[in-house]
Structure 1
């Protein structure tokens, strides 16, 4: 979060609270011009009073290691002021699909079955339900994809291990045979390889925005109260074209 803080201005942000479960991450934070407070805390148990913040940001939270992410979102809703906004980003379900498919095909071929070797990620269809159940409204969900090029599959796996993103699934296999790994690397390059010999690794990022309800917010009108038909939209388009010609 300290990386994000560098882009904020003290002219619009009065105080900034940085929370992390890792003490070293807080100690190694980047400095910014905004008065900041570091709080060592588990995101499932935020140590703040109700209706405290105008804005809460959650950037790439490790929800793959957290089956209670709905609890986290409820906690965020609790500490937001009415009309406060939550902006978050999480890793999406299509992340590393190249690696996942290659490992599954190789394991089926060599061992007659497969087990998950990549941590499960959030599906975009789950986010709206998650925010709504926590009490947020005026929801927005967006998707972005980033492709990173690697020399090969082994480098992808090494990078993931270095980032601490090893598989955390409960039903994962403890051992992946060497010949299966080599077969998966060959499949990876054959199915997804680039012309320059590199292989892509896709990271899907899901962005979400939700507002804590407040009486000042716009509310949907009652069903059946519309006085204009959608069928009239085509007439509007024809009328516009006629005016443009004249």
Structure 2
């Protein structure tokens, strides 16, 4: 039985990231900022953190004790050696995102914290829509141009599948203004987020497709500052390695007081 074709061409992804401009990594910087904000709210000092990062230099000067390891299908993280694992804005390119979370969980000590940031399903929805409509109009077909990205509910479910306790997933929407669709696509290349899908076209796209998409974009998604608007959605995932000291939900039927009494209302029984 043949193996399914991977969504991401890892060689192309590596080339894209090697060509990235450090000055264009505002999404990576935003992800790092979200991680730092959440760590500031945790009443715990971490002694052995690990960071999974596509751009390790971005974390220089942050978490001096941290082991920084590159993104890979198999992460170079020893089992149960870290009390904090950060996965920084790479899950949306992973061919096996739940496998990445499982590896992070295995690297955690009991009651260790995992924090991951990924791009969510609303990211670049304007670009995806305009390119699809334009290609359909010009060529009568469609080709994959923007990587599929999971919704927050789906990513939250992956935390439970990975065996993490107290899972939380929330979103951080970001809006950016660009002069044109061309400038947006140039910025995506500069940040290492150009198309790296295995099923991408391997020949040049007709100019008419981009011209039509650019006009659709300008007409449909204008920015208040002029030009166009682009949406980026950061999804922040938080989970803990299970430990007996953690809070547990009460058993059904173990309540010591009636909800109706607390709400000062009458209870209406339900009949079979």
- Please give the range of the TM-score, normalised by the shorter of the 2 chains: 0.7 to 0.9
**Pairs within 5 Å for 1:129-148:** 129-148=157-176
Which of 228, 235, 247 is the aligned partner of 1:218?
247
Instruction: Establish whether residue 206 from structure 1 lines up as the match of residue 235 from structure 2.
Output: yes
User: Which residue pairs with 1:70 in the alignment?
Assistant: 98
- Deviations 1:176-224, CA, capped at 9 Å, x for gaps: 2101100100000100112442111110000111011111111111122
**Pairs within 5 Å for 1:72-91:** 72-91=100-119
Measured in 1, the distance between the counterparts of 2:50 and 2:255 equals: 44
Instruction: Establish whether residue 192 from structure 1 lines up as the match of residue 253 from structure 2.
Output: no
Please say if residues 49 and 82 of structure 2, whose CA atoms lie closer than 8 Å, have aligned partners that are also in contact.
Answer: no
Where relative contact order (Cα < 8 A, 6+ residues apart) is larger, the structure is 2
Measured in 1, the distance between the counterparts of 2:160 and 2:92 equals: 20
User: Which residue pairs with 1:42 in the alignment?
Assistant: 72
Instruction: Establish whether residue 57 from structure 1 lines up as the match of residue 86 from structure 2.
Output: yes
Please say if residues 15 and 34 of structure 1, whose CA atoms lie closer than 8 Å, have aligned partners that are also in contact.
Answer: no
The number of residue pairs the alignment matches comes to: 230
What SS does the corresponding residue of 1:56 show, helix, strand or coil?
strand
**Pairs within 5 Å for 1:1-246:** 12-18=45-51, 20=53, 25-26=55-56, 30-31=60-61, 34-35=64-65, 37-39=67-69, 42=72, 44-48=74-78, 50-61=79-90, 63-174=91-202, 175-235=204-264
Please say if residues 69 and 75 of structure 2, whose CA atoms lie closer than 8 Å, have aligned partners that are also in contact.
Answer: no
What SS does the corresponding residue of 1:235 show, helix, strand or coil?
coil
Measured in 2, the distance between the counterparts of 1:196 and 1:128 equals: 35
- Deviations 1:8-61, CA, capped at 9 Å, x for gaps: 99x9454554555x7xx547863358345555673623241x221111111212
Measured in 2, the distance between the counterparts of 1:84 and 1:121 equals: 27
- Deviations 1:136-192, CA, capped at 9 Å, x for gaps: 111111111111110000001111112221112233223321011001000001001
Gap runs ≥5 in structure 2: 1-27, 266-272
Please say if residues 117 and 237 of structure 2, whose CA atoms lie closer than 8 Å, have aligned partners that are also in contact.
Answer: yes
RMSD of aligned alpha carbons: 3.0
Please say if residues 6 and 32 of structure 1, whose CA atoms lie closer than 8 Å, have aligned partners that are also in contact.
Answer: no
* Larger-gyration structure (1/2): 1
